[in-house]
Amino acid sequence: MTAGQTLPATGSSLVAYQYVVLRCVPRVDREEFLNIGVVLYSQSAGYLCSASHLHDGRLRALAPELDIEAVLAALAAVQALCCGESPLAGTGLKALGQRFGWLAAPKSTVVQPGPIHGGLTTDPARQLEHLLETLVH
Protein backbone atom coordinates (compact mmCIF):
# COMPACT_ATOMS: atom_id res chain seq x y z
CA MET A 1 0.00 0.00 0.00
CA THR A 2 1.09 3.55 -0.54
CA ALA A 3 0.49 6.66 1.53
CA GLY A 4 -3.01 7.97 1.05
CA GLN A 5 -4.63 4.61 0.31
CA THR A 6 -7.61 3.56 2.35
CA LEU A 7 -7.58 0.57 4.61
CA PRO A 8 -10.52 -1.68 3.69
CA ALA A 9 -11.33 -2.69 7.27
CA THR A 10 -11.32 0.73 8.91
CA GLY A 11 -11.64 3.25 6.11
CA SER A 12 -8.74 5.24 7.60
CA SER A 13 -6.11 6.73 5.34
CA LEU A 14 -2.54 5.64 5.69
CA VAL A 15 0.12 8.30 6.14
CA ALA A 16 3.84 7.89 5.73
CA TYR A 17 6.09 8.56 8.69
CA GLN A 18 9.76 8.57 9.61
CA TYR A 19 11.25 7.95 13.02
CA VAL A 20 14.52 7.78 14.89
CA VAL A 21 15.24 5.97 18.11
CA LEU A 22 16.99 8.14 20.69
CA ARG A 23 19.89 6.42 22.38
CA CYS A 24 21.74 7.20 25.57
CA VAL A 25 25.45 6.75 24.82
CA PRO A 26 27.24 7.44 28.12
CA ARG A 27 30.70 6.67 26.74
CA VAL A 28 31.14 6.93 23.00
CA ASP A 29 34.48 5.12 23.18
CA ARG A 30 32.76 1.95 24.47
CA GLU A 31 30.07 2.08 21.75
CA GLU A 32 27.41 0.97 24.24
CA PHE A 33 23.96 2.50 24.27
CA LEU A 34 20.47 2.11 25.65
CA ASN A 35 17.33 3.08 23.73
CA ILE A 36 15.54 5.83 25.66
CA GLY A 37 13.10 7.46 23.25
CA VAL A 38 11.58 7.85 19.80
CA VAL A 39 10.96 10.87 17.58
CA LEU A 40 8.25 10.38 14.93
CA TYR A 41 7.56 12.73 12.01
CA SER A 42 4.79 12.57 9.42
CA GLN A 43 4.85 15.33 6.84
CA SER A 44 1.42 14.51 5.40
CA ALA A 45 -0.18 14.42 8.87
CA GLY A 46 1.66 17.53 10.06
CA TYR A 47 2.91 15.57 13.06
CA LEU A 48 6.20 15.74 14.97
CA CYS A 49 6.43 14.37 18.49
CA SER A 50 8.74 12.48 20.79
CA ALA A 51 8.21 10.02 23.61
CA SER A 52 10.76 8.67 26.03
CA HIS A 53 11.27 6.36 28.97
CA LEU A 54 14.36 5.99 31.12
CA HIS A 55 15.20 2.70 32.78
CA ASP A 56 17.17 4.08 35.70
CA GLY A 57 18.50 0.65 36.72
CA ARG A 58 19.67 -0.21 33.22
CA LEU A 59 21.34 3.16 32.78
CA ARG A 60 23.07 2.85 36.16
CA ALA A 61 24.30 -0.65 35.23
CA LEU A 62 25.69 0.70 31.96
CA ALA A 63 27.21 3.86 33.41
CA PRO A 64 27.06 4.35 37.20
CA GLU A 65 28.53 7.86 36.87
CA LEU A 66 25.95 9.02 34.32
CA ASP A 67 24.23 12.33 35.06
CA ILE A 68 20.58 11.24 34.72
CA GLU A 69 19.38 14.83 35.13
CA ALA A 70 21.41 15.85 32.06
CA VAL A 71 19.82 13.02 30.05
CA LEU A 72 16.35 14.11 31.20
CA ALA A 73 17.19 17.71 30.23
CA ALA A 74 18.28 16.56 26.75
CA LEU A 75 15.01 14.64 26.32
CA ALA A 76 13.04 17.70 27.46
CA ALA A 77 14.91 19.79 24.86
CA VAL A 78 13.96 17.28 22.15
CA GLN A 79 10.31 17.46 23.22
CA ALA A 80 10.41 21.26 23.29
CA LEU A 81 11.80 21.38 19.75
CA CYS A 82 9.14 18.94 18.53
CA CYS A 83 6.42 21.14 20.02
CA GLY A 84 7.94 24.37 18.70
CA GLU A 85 8.69 25.60 22.23
CA SER A 86 12.47 25.66 21.83
CA PRO A 87 14.39 28.80 20.89
CA LEU A 88 15.75 26.76 17.96
CA ALA A 89 12.21 26.52 16.53
CA GLY A 90 12.19 30.29 16.12
CA THR A 91 15.43 30.37 14.15
CA GLY A 92 15.99 28.34 11.02
CA LEU A 93 13.97 25.37 12.26
CA LYS A 94 10.39 26.56 11.85
CA ALA A 95 9.05 23.77 9.65
CA LEU A 96 8.41 20.35 11.19
CA GLY A 97 10.59 18.65 8.57
CA GLN A 98 13.50 20.96 9.39
CA ARG A 99 13.12 20.20 13.08
CA PHE A 100 13.01 16.45 12.44
CA GLY A 101 16.09 16.71 10.23
CA TRP A 102 17.97 18.52 12.96
CA LEU A 103 16.88 15.98 15.60
CA ALA A 104 17.80 13.05 13.32
CA ALA A 105 21.27 14.40 12.47
CA PRO A 106 24.17 12.55 14.10
CA LYS A 107 25.48 14.18 17.26
CA SER A 108 28.35 13.49 19.61
CA THR A 109 26.37 14.03 22.80
CA VAL A 110 25.11 11.57 25.40
CA VAL A 111 21.68 11.46 23.70
CA GLN A 112 22.06 10.48 20.05
CA PRO A 113 19.62 9.57 17.27
CA GLY A 114 19.86 6.21 15.56
CA PRO A 115 19.27 5.78 11.82
CA ILE A 116 16.07 7.03 10.20
CA HIS A 117 13.39 4.41 9.58
CA GLY A 118 9.99 4.76 7.95
CA GLY A 119 6.58 3.21 7.63
CA LEU A 120 2.87 3.75 7.13
CA THR A 121 0.23 4.29 9.78
CA THR A 122 -3.32 5.49 10.21
CA ASP A 123 -2.50 7.21 13.53
CA PRO A 124 0.95 8.77 14.08
CA ALA A 125 0.40 9.29 17.82
CA ARG A 126 -0.57 5.65 18.35
CA GLN A 127 2.38 4.55 16.19
CA LEU A 128 4.74 6.61 18.36
CA GLU A 129 3.45 4.87 21.48
CA HIS A 130 3.78 1.48 19.77
CA LEU A 131 7.37 2.21 18.78
CA LEU A 132 8.18 3.37 22.31
CA GLU A 133 6.73 0.18 23.76
CA THR A 134 8.47 -2.04 21.21
CA LEU A 135 11.90 -0.39 21.01
CA VAL A 136 12.40 1.25 24.41
CA HIS A 137 10.37 -0.45 27.13
Q: What is the pLDDT of residues 120-131, one digit of tens each?
A: 999 999 999 999
pLDDT of 6 over the 60 cut: no
Residue 21 lies in a domain: no
Residue 2 lies in a domain: no
Residue 110 lies in a domain: yes
| Cβ-contact 39, 23 below 8 angstroms | no
Q: Which residues contact 4 (CB under 8 A, 6 or more apart)?
A: 13, 14, 15, 44
pLDDT of 49 over the 60 cut: yes
Residue 1 lies in a domain: no
pTM here? 0.88
| Cβ-contact 90, 107 below 8 angstroms | no
Residue 6 lies in a domain: no
C-alpha 68/C-alpha 23 separation (Å) is 13
C-alpha 122/C-alpha 105 separation (Å) is 26
Domain, as residue range, for 50:
27-135
Q: How confident is the model at residue 134 (pLDDT cuts 50, 70, 90)?
A: very high
C-alpha 83/C-alpha 16 separation (Å) is 20
Instruction: Indicate the number of domains in the chain.
Output: 1
* Mean pLDDT within 54-64: 93
